[in-house]
């Protein structure tokens, strides 16, 4: 970051107070903060705040470094105390779930039943995600290709095209994901073209971006001396072109991840998977 950018950039304190893991608050806070390019949040995250003593420590921090306070607290006494303190000290405070719960209540009727960490129950959905994670780890980087038919999604891509992190993200959404590296002069598993159930997706990026990531990776490993073609932009461009051609011949969709975050790539894949499943269902029922 340049000195000019540093000088023009401002910072603010963002306090995230939760009686559960705080994941909801983190996502909401970061999504909102991202709308302000000239202001960056200094996050203070307080998970598992479930009694007055724990809240005492939170209030001490807020007093020392006031800023925006977002919270998800089920206990009424804790909520009221936090809101009263912030209001008295002119500190902006908001329950991020309250407007949503009110909307649900207006539509569904009746009173909600407060549950701390209700979205983290050990139910069937939870164990489905665990199963997907186990599958994904087992089938990472071209391992156990004989079991690809059991995948929901198979990702293809050259080295450093975000296959593994995207696979893990999808697994956390309950999607069994395998990934296969595309290596120059190494054929893909022969059974890949015969897969019936999984959606096969190619991931590509610009040669410049891939080289940048590969070079940083090698620097971290102190291993820049080696196969020069691995970080040669022309050679990498040929790898990218080959992966595009391979997917085009097979009719597999391709996603360019050059300017996409892992979350955005995963969202695009989930959209393709829904369409893929709909098409298979229609073919089965016809």
Residue with token string 């705080």: 22
Binding-site residues: 157-164
| Residue 257 burial class via C-beta count within 10 angstroms: exposed 0-12, middle 13-18, buried 19 and up | buried
Q: pLDDT tens digits, residue range 165-209?
A: 999 999 999 999 999 999 999 999 989 999 999 999 999 999 999
pTM here is: 0.75
Cα 219 to Cα 222: distance, rounded to the nearest angstrom: 5
Q: pLDDT tens digits, residue range 94-129?
A: 999 999 989 998 999 887 776 665 555 556 788 899
Cα 20 to Cα 122: distance, rounded to the nearest angstrom: 14
Which residues are CB-contacts of 217 (< 8 A; sequence separation ≥ 6)? Answer: 160
Strands 10-18 and 68-72: parallel
Binding-site residues for ADP: 157-164
- Please name which of 58, 61, 74, 79 lies closest in space to residue 20, comparing C-alpha atoms: 74
Complete domains list, the chain, with CATH: 10-119 (3.40.50.2300), 124-285 (3.40.50)
Cα 153 to Cα 107: distance, rounded to the nearest angstrom: 36
């Amino acid at each position: 970051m340049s000195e000019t950018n540093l000088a023009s950039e401002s910072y603010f304190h963002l306090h995230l107070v939760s009686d559960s893991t705080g994941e909801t608050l983190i996502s909401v806070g970061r999504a909102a903060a991202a709308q302000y390019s000239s202001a960056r949040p200094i996050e203070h995250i307080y998970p598992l705040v479930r009694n007055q003593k724990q809240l005492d420590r939170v209030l001490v921090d807020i007093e020392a470094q006031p800023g925006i306070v977002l919270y998800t607290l089920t206990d009424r006494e804790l909520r009221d105390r936090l809101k009263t303190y912030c209001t008295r000290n002119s500190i902006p405070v908001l329950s991020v779930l309250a407007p949503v719960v009110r909307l649900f209540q207006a539509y569904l009727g009746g009173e909600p039943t407060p549950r701390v960490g209700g979205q983290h129950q050990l139910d069937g959905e939870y164990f489905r995600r665990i199963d997907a994670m186990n599958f994904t780890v087992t089938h990472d980087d071209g391992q156990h290709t004989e079991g690809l038919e059991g995948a929901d999604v198979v990702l293809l891509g050259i080295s450093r095209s975000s296959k593994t992190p995207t696979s893990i993200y999808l697994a956390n959404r309950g999607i069994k994901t395998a990934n296969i590296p595309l290596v120059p002069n190494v054929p893909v598993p022969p059974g890949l073209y015969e897969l019936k159930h999984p959606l096969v997706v190619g991931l590509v990026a610009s040669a410049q971006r891939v080289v940048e990531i590969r070079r940083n990776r090698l620097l971290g490993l102190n291993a820049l001396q080696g196969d020069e073609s691995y970080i040669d932009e022309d050679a990498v461009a040929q790898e990218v072109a080959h992966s595009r051609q391979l997917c085009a011949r097979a009719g597999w969709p391709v996603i360019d991840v050059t300017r996409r975050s892992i979350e955005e790539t995963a969202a695009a894949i989930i959209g393709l998977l829904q369409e893929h499943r709909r098409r298979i269902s229609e073919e089965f029922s016809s």
